[in-house]
């Protein structure tokens, strides 16, 4: 039955590749099947390990690094920040379901009251707004540490991003999908060119990792940054890499992209924070 469903949805996708009219569910099947076919030796769960899921040599180095994980300090700093009272005596726990513990997998979500995508970092800063505190900057520093702690308490939880039955939710999803597949920048490349169609090839010194599992482990400690950074910091980096003008962190565009990318990784476990070259 399942095979038949897969064949059917593949037939539909062949008929209208990447058109806006495939449903998110059809997109998801096509997307995940693509990587599983391309890397038949990688078990599904392992795509949460990014480029290391497809390259044994760099995986061994990475596993050594993870033994004394470079983000350990960020998790404990994040925990302290998370629990520290605001000037009014409240803390972050007061803004989140389950006091903010073990809930990373619920983000981003489409808020049907507001009609927009809410990411974890947006919710962290909105918690500050609600408590009369100044916002944190989006890319690194305290917001990344808090997000790292929240991800850490959610390790092993399965991503299950929903597209509610609301035309605005579908619109946000389609916008993110479009961003992923549309060519841009002076190099005229799309996210999909590097992370799907040329996945496993090299771009200069870098092996191009699969987009399946792209966001399971954010925020991420990158040696290239010498520190921890958020998802939107990474998006800005990849857009700059193809000499495209990056969008603003936490604007509508990148939130839509994060929504699409997270939905594509449904079924994988949260394993953040992570470390990457």
Q: Which residues are at the interface with ligand HEC (CB under 6 A)?
A: 50-51, 189, 191, 193-195, 203, 206, 208-209, 214, 220, 234-235, 238-239, 241-242, 257, 276
Are 249 and 191 within 8 A, CB to CB? no
> CB of residue 89 vs ligand HEC: minimum separation in angstroms?
37
Question: How many Cβ atoms from other residues are within 10 Å of residue 35's Cβ?
Answer: 23
> CB of residue 196 vs ligand HEC: minimum separation in angstroms?
10
Question: Closer CB to ligand HEC, residue 36 or residue 238?
Answer: 238
Question: How many Cβ atoms from other residues are within 10 Å of residue 36's Cβ?
Answer: 14
> CB of residue 31 vs ligand HEC: minimum separation in angstroms?
13
Are 233 and 222 within 8 A, CB to CB? no
> CB of residue 81 vs ligand HEC: minimum separation in angstroms?
23
Question: Closer CB to ligand HEC, residue 96 or residue 214?
Answer: 214
Question: Closer CB to ligand HEC, residue 104 or residue 234?
Answer: 234
141 conformational bin, left if phi > 0, alpha if psi -120 to 50, beta if neither:
left
Question: Closer CB to ligand HEC, residue 100 or residue 209?
Answer: 209
Query: Is the four-CA dihedral 209, 215, 217, 221 of positive or negative sign?
Result: positive
Find all residues with CB under 8 Å of 274, minimum gap 6, and list them: 50, 71, 216, 217, 218, 220, 221
Per-residue tokens: 44: 């599904």
> CB of residue 272 vs ligand HEC: minimum separation in angstroms?
10
CA angle 198, 202, 208 (to 5 degrees): 60
> CB of residue 67 vs ligand HEC: minimum separation in angstroms?
19
Nearest to 81 by CA among 15, 145, 36: 145
Question: Closer CB to ligand HEC, residue 75 or residue 276?
Answer: 276
Question: Closer CB to ligand HEC, residue 28 or residue 189?
Answer: 189
> CB of residue 65 vs ligand HEC: minimum separation in angstroms?
13
Are 275 and 226 within 8 A, CB to CB? no
Residue 209 CB-half CA count within 13 A? 20
Question: Closer CB to ligand HEC, residue 92 or residue 235?
Answer: 235
């Amino acid at each position: 039955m399942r095979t038949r469903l897969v064949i059917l949805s593949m037939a539909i996708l062949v008929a209208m590749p990447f058109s806006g009219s495939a449903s998110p569910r059809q997109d998801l099947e096509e997307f995940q099947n693509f990587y599983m076919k391309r890397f038949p030796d990688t078990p599904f769960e392992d795509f949460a390990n990014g480029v290391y899921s497809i390259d044994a040599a760099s995986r061994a180095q990475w596993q050594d690094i993870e033994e004394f994980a470079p983000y350990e300090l960020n998790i404990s700093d994040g925990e302290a920040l998370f629990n520290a009272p605001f000037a009014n005596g409240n803390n972050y726990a007061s803004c989140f379901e389950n006091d903010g513990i073990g809930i990373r997998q619920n983000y981003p979500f489409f808020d049907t009251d507001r009609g927009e995508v809410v990411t974890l970092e947006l919710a962290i800063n909105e918690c500050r707004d609600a408590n009369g505190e100044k916002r944190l900057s989006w890319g690194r520093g305290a917001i990344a540490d808090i997000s790292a702690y929240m991800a850490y308490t959610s390790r092993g939880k399965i991503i299950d991003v929903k597209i509610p039955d609301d035309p605005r939710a579908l619109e946000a999803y389609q916008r993110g999908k479009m961003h992923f597949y549309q060519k841009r920048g002076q190099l005229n490349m799309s996210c999909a060119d590097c992370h799907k169609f040329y996945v496993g090839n090299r771009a200069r010194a870098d092996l191009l990792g699969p987009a399946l599992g792209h966001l399971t482990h954010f925020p991420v400690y990158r040696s290239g940054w010498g520190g921890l950074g958020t998802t939107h910091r990474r998006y800005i980096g990849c857009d700059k890499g193809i000499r495209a003008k990056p969008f603003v962190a936490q604007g509508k565009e990148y939130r839509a992209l994060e929504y699409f990318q997270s939905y594509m990784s449904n079924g994988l476990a949260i394993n953040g924070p992570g470390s990457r070259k």
